[in-house]
Amino acid sequence: MVKETIRVYARVKPLGRQQQAGIYSVDDNEKSLSSLEIIVPRDLADGFVNNKRESYKFKFQKIFDQEAKQDVVFDSIAKPVAECVLAGYNGTIFAYGQTGSGKTFTITGGAERYSDRGIIPRTLSYIFDQLQKDSSKVYTTHVSYLEIYNECGYDLLDPRHEASGLEDLPKVTIMEDPDQNIHLKNLSLQQATNEEEALNLLFLGDTNRMIAETPMNQASTRSHCIFTIHISSKEPGSATVQHSKLHLVDLAGSERVAKTGVGGHLLTEAKYINLSLHYLEQVIIALAEKKRSHIPYRNSMMTSVLRDSLGGNCLTTMIATLSIDKRNIDESIATCRFAQRVALIKNEAVLNEEIDPRLMIVQLKKEIQELKDELALVTGKQRTSELSQEELLRLDELLETFLEDNDPDSTLDVGADMRKIKYCFIHVKQLMNHSKISDKKLLSQYIPEEKETNKQTGEELKKLKELLQQRDNEINILVNMLKKEKKKAQDALFQLNAASACSTVFEQSPSINLEESQSPSSCFSLKEAKDFSSSVHRLPFLSRKTGGKMSLGCQEAFEVFKQDHADSITIEDNKQLLKQKFAEAKCLGEKLNEVRIKINHLKGEITQRHVQRAALAVSSPSEELNTLDPVEEKLRTQIEEEKKSYKAMFNRVKGLKIEIEHLQLLIKKVKMKLQKDFEVWWSEETINLQQEKPEMVSSPNTMTVYPQFIKSSQHLSTNSFSDTTRVSPNEDPAGKNNSITSSNPTLKTRTPPSSSTSIPLTGDSQADADILAFIKARQNILQKKGLGNK
Ligand code: ADP
Ligand code: MG
């Protein structure tokens, strides 16, 4: 990178024959900067310059006085720049000065003599000369010629047009890429392989410019011309290409309308002949000021095009052309002032190198082939980019063995073959991704499964609870029933006693209204209770006999019979066992719930741990984080243990369920047997009663009830059912369904002949037989218990 301020030179145009020279002096210093002193006489009162001052001194890199020849100017100014351009840097030489000060003469040259050739032809000559001399590089040269007039760009080298005015030339527009690089659309780049071609192009451009100019538009004084030489170079075999360009700029006249001559009035609006020069000055001022962030390059096309030349990647040189006759002294001072500002601008020129992608590809291909050849030489095998089918299979096998091997020291050796190593990595990645997906699936499967298990346990628990409740209720119903039966019997007997009447028939539907007997605190299912009642209480045999109805007495007899039956102990034992099992199941259900909650909690802890470690890995990555987390391991072990106990308990609940079901079946079976036994006994007793005691019936409608029976009935009830609970007190289903009423017309009260109560019979032979059997059964039972009156 070359960091340099813009070099500023001054060239003084020879005085014309009728021109009066201004007073100036040139102090040419070979070693340092040259200085130009301009003396302004005091009588120039209406001048642009403050007339209080007389002497103006300006420093220049070099000052070319009137007699300086074109070749000297070229050698001093343009040659060094051309050399830099050949080395790959950008360069700009621009001429600045008022109209007629010799800008065009300096840049392009005079048309009269060969020796008057200006910088452009000389530079072209020099460059092609150098290119020819340098065989180490391959050069390509292009030229472009742009004229900017009234903010419009024109391509002076477009050969398709025969310009008759500037407007006929193709318009050039500015394009800016995202990197803020300027591109000129429609500006043709004409290749010039040699000096002659390049000079022809320059001539074409100058001709176009000349033709386009009319006395009306005075284009040459008001327009800027930029002749650019583009050079690309590269060393043979190298992919690096150097691009450089040299702008040779002939600016529009810099004169200001300071002297209008019209009454000495200063026309401020016409102060600047050329607005774009005003903007150029703005850019120069901005660049000269340190720490100025915004440089107004965009204000004009010229400053945009010369952006790189001003404060950018360019080695720039300015030539201030001065017309030093008396009349133009103030303009010359203005030019010098401008030059002083320009001299402050620092440019940073860099070598414009870039890689040619096409060349790069060719080079890389060549390198690959060379490496392949080398590899084949070393391995003794020609290697293709694809692995063979056998090689792939072998790799799969190796990978499988490696992945399944639990030994932490196991390694995967596929040899020094990048293709195989890459394949293995891809394979492992696929496996990882797959397992991630299946993990997710498993997790989503596991969660409902767990839910399912919980649901199952819950359902079982509910079922068992219900069963327990059912059993409780069954017992309650039975007790309640018997209690009511007892109460009814008492009431009946009390009535009988009071009225000294005969017995009455009490029949009741065997299907007790359970709905009404249900305790409010009980959550026992009604349907189940009904089912139970029909299966247990309805004695099939007797029900059949009584046409679906069984006498309450019969039922009570059954209850008493049941108590003494050996099987009832078995039933009781089983019931106790069942209760225990229910309790155990309930307890297990609760424990299962606890374990499940604990497992969920542990899982939550693991997730939290993951999140923490992930966050830690992001904030401060360390090796430690890649290893296994001992805390997580511990949590996982705990989960495993909890799962084990969960499973064990779950299995126990399952076992309990089977046990309970079995017990229930057993109870049912024993009950059935008991019923059958009772039925047999009951029918036997009925037959015996009918045969042995026909005399007890004193009339077809009456029978005798012994007073002891009443007592014993009370006694029995107290003994057997004192522990009854959970019976709705405000309901009396038996009472509702019972036919016993004090005003019963069939009820006849009669004093029994031998301290016995006479019970009126129904007239229905079956019912009467039942009543008789009931009384007989009572008596037998009471006798058995030693309560009866023998
Ligand atoms: P500009 O382009 O600045 O308006 P020109 O280059 O056209 O001025 O110069 C005006 C006239 O002065 C031309 O006729 C040109 O030949 C002549 N001239 C300018 N500089 C020199 C010089 N150094 N030696 C001889 N003649 C010159
Ligand atoms: Mg000119």
Q: What is the DSSP string of 517-533?
A: H--TT----HHHHHHHI
How is residue 748 annotated by DSSP? -
How does 80-110 read in b/e, with b if 16+ C-beta sit within 10 Å?
ebbebbbbbbbbbbbbbbbbbbbbbbbbbbe
Of 277, 231, 269, the residue nearest 103 (C-alpha): 277
Residue 701: predicted pLDDT: 43
- Measured in Å, residue 389 CA sits from the centre of ligand 1 at 83
Atom of ligand 1 nearest to the CA of 95: 3
Q: Which of 460-464, 579-583, 685-689, 716-720 has the lowest mean pLDDT?
A: 716-720
**Distance between CA atoms of 517 and 475, rounded to whole angstroms?**
13
Q: 224: Cβ–Cβ under 8 A, 6 or more apart, which residues?
A: 147, 148, 149, 249, 250, 251, 252, 276, 302
Shortest-distance Cα residue to atom 22 of ligand 1: 13
Determine if ligand 1 sits within 6 Å of the CB of residue 245: no
What tokens appear for 697 in the block? 């019936």
Q: Which of 95-104, 187-196, 451-460, 512-521 has the lowest mean pLDDT?
A: 512-521
Q: Which of 457-471, 617-631, 750-764 has the lowest mean pLDDT?
A: 750-764
Higher pLDDT, 516 or 640: 640
Query: Does 229 have pLDDT greater than 50?
Result: yes
Higher pLDDT, 646 or 455: 646
Higher pLDDT, 562 or 637: 637
Query: Rounded mean pLDDT of 339-363?
Result: 86
Distance of CA 736 to the CA centre of its chain: 72
Determine if ligand 1 sits within 6 Å of the CB of residue 209: no
Q: In a mutational test of the pocket of ligand 1, which residue from 15, 94, 105, 248 has the highest number of ligand atoms less than 8 Å from its CB?
A: 105
Higher pLDDT, 662 or 601: 601
- Measured in Å, residue 105 CA sits from the centre of ligand 1 at 5
Q: 299: Cβ–Cβ under 8 A, 6 or more apart, which residues?
A: 279, 282, 283
- Measured in Å, residue 339 CA sits from the centre of ligand 2 at 18
**Distance between CA atoms of 560 and 778, rounded to whole angstroms?**
9
- Reported as a single tens digit per residue, the pLDDT across 208-220 is 887 766 555 555 6
Tallying the residues shown for the chain, one arrives at 790
Q: What is the mean pLDDT of the chain?
A: 76
Residue 550: predicted pLDDT: 58
- Measured in Å, residue 59 CA sits from the centre of ligand 2 at 25
pLDDT-derived band at 200, boundaries 50, 70, 90: very high
Atom of ligand 1 nearest to the CA of 98: 3
Residue 84: predicted pLDDT: 93
Ligand that lies nearest to the alpha carbon of residue 320, given by its number in the listed order: 1
- Measured in Å, residue 229 CA sits from the centre of ligand 2 at 20
Residue 48: predicted pLDDT: 55
Ligand that lies nearest to the alpha carbon of residue 103, given by its number in the listed order: 1
Higher pLDDT, 313 or 119: 119
Of 147, 353, 120, the residue nearest 252 (C-alpha): 147
Q: Which of 17-21, 307-311, 702-706 has the lowest mean pLDDT?
A: 702-706
Radius of gyration, alpha carbons of the chain: 63
Residue 514: predicted pLDDT: 35
Instruction: Provide the β-strand partners of residue 225.
Output: 147, 250
Residue 442: predicted pLDDT: 67
Ligand that lies nearest to the alpha carbon of residue 213, given by its number in the listed order: 2
Query: Rounded mean pLDDT of 510-520?
Result: 37
Query: Does 27 have pLDDT greater than 80?
Result: yes
pLDDT-derived band at 353, boundaries 50, 70, 90: confident
- Most confident range, picked from 278-292, 694-708, 748-762: 278-292
Shortest-distance Cα residue to atom 25 of ligand 1: 14
Atom of ligand 1 nearest to the CA of 103: 3
- Measured in Å, residue 106 CA sits from the centre of ligand 1 at 8
Query: Does 132 have pLDDT greater than 50?
Result: yes
Q: What is the DSSP string of 390-455?
A: HHHHHHHHHHHHHHH---TT------S-HHHHHHHHHHHHHHHHHHHHHHHHHHHHHHHHHHHHHH
Instruction: Provide the β-strand partners of residue 699.
Output: 702
Atom of ligand 1 nearest to the CA of 101: 3
Residue 2: predicted pLDDT: 78
Determine if ligand 1 sits within 6 Å of the CB of residue 14: yes
Query: Does 226 have pLDDT greater than 60?
Result: yes
Residue 53: predicted pLDDT: 64
Three-point CA angle 142, 147, 148, nearest 5° = 135
Of 324, 320, 348, the residue nearest 336 (C-alpha): 320
- Measured in Å, residue 222 CA sits from the centre of ligand 2 at 9
Query: Rounded mean pLDDT of 264-274?
Result: 47
pLDDT-derived band at 789, boundaries 50, 70, 90: very low
Residue 693: predicted pLDDT: 52
- Reported as a single tens digit per residue, the pLDDT across 408-437 is 888 888 888 888 888 888 888 888 888 887
Query: Rounded mean pLDDT of 198-227?
Result: 79
**Distance between CA atoms of 619 and 452, rounded to whole angstroms?**
41
Of 85, 81, 113, 84, the residue nearest 94 (C-alpha): 81
Query: Does 671 have pLDDT greater than 90?
Result: no
**How many of the other CB atoms lie within 10 Å of CB of 775?**
23
CB 556 within 8 A of CB 482: yes
Q: Which of 209-223, 238-252, 363-377 has the lowest mean pLDDT?
A: 209-223
- Measured in Å, residue 102 CA sits from the centre of ligand 1 at 4
Determine if ligand 1 sits within 6 Å of the CB of residue 109: no
Atom of ligand 1 nearest to the CA of 107: 6
Determine if ligand 1 sits within 6 Å of the CB of residue 110: yes
- Measured in Å, residue 101 CA sits from the centre of ligand 1 at 6
SS3 278: helix
Instruction: Provide the β-strand partners of residue 704.
Output: 758
Residue 6: predicted pLDDT: 92
Atom of ligand 1 nearest to the CA of 105: 6
- Measured in Å, residue 218 CA sits from the centre of ligand 1 at 16
Residue 539: predicted pLDDT: 46
What tokens appear for 275 in the block? 């607005």
CB 212 within 8 A of CB 163: yes
Ligand that lies nearest to the alpha carbon of residue 66, given by its number in the listed order: 1
Backbone angles phi, psi at 134, to 5 degrees: -90, 105
Residue 263: predicted pLDDT: 42
- Reported as a single tens digit per residue, the pLDDT across 529-547 is 334 333 444 444 444 444 4
pLDDT-derived band at 243, boundaries 50, 70, 90: very high
Determine if ligand 1 sits within 6 Å of the CB of residue 100: yes
- Measured in Å, residue 64 CA sits from the centre of ligand 1 at 14
Atom of ligand 1 nearest to the CA of 16: 12
Shortest-distance Cα residue to atom 15 of ligand 1: 105
- Measured in Å, residue 73 CA sits from the centre of ligand 1 at 14
The percentage of the chain sitting over the pLDDT mark of 90, rounded to a whole number, equals 21
Residues whose Cβ atom is located within 5 A of ion ligand 2? 103-104, 220
Residue 40: predicted pLDDT: 83
- Measured in Å, residue 20 CA sits from the centre of ligand 2 at 22
Determine if ligand 1 sits within 6 Å of the CB of residue 103: yes
Atom of ligand 1 nearest to the CA of 99: 4
Determine if ligand 1 sits within 6 Å of the CB of residue 105: yes
Query: Rounded mean pLDDT of 753-760?
Result: 43
Of 255, 245, 402, 387, the residue nearest 316 (C-alpha): 245
How is residue 76 annotated by DSSP? I
Ligand that lies nearest to the alpha carbon of residue 273, given by its number in the listed order: 1
Q: What is the 3-state secondary structure (H, E, C) of 443-476?
A: HHHHHHHHHHHHHHHHHHHHHHHHHHHHHHHHHH
CA-CA-CA-CA torsion sign (428, 431, 433, 436): negative
CA distances from 497 to 77, 170, 706 (A): 154, 141, 11
Residue 703: predicted pLDDT: 41
The percentage of the chain sitting over the pLDDT mark of 70, rounded to a whole number, equals 72
**Distance between CA atoms of 610 and 612, rounded to whole angstroms?**
5
Ligand that lies nearest to the alpha carbon of residue 11, given by its number in the listed order: 1
Determine if ligand 1 sits within 6 Å of the CB of residue 99: yes
Determine if ligand 1 sits within 6 Å of the CB of residue 97: yes
CB 387 within 8 A of CB 420: yes
Q: In a mutational test of the pocket of ligand 1, which residue from 13, 15, 116, 218 has the highest number of ligand atoms less than 8 Å from its CB?
A: 13
Shortest-distance Cα residue to atom 17 of ligand 1: 102
**How many of the other CB atoms lie within 10 Å of CB of 675?**
22
Residue 739: predicted pLDDT: 37
Query: Rounded mean pLDDT of 361-386?
Result: 83
Residue 249: predicted pLDDT: 96
Residue 509: predicted pLDDT: 37
Query: Does 145 have pLDDT greater than 80?
Result: yes
Atom of ligand 1 nearest to the CA of 110: 16
Q: 1: Cβ–Cβ under 8 A, 6 or more apart, which residues?
A: 348, 349, 350, 351
What tokens appear for 92 in the block? 């700009």
CB 109 within 8 A of CB 121: yes
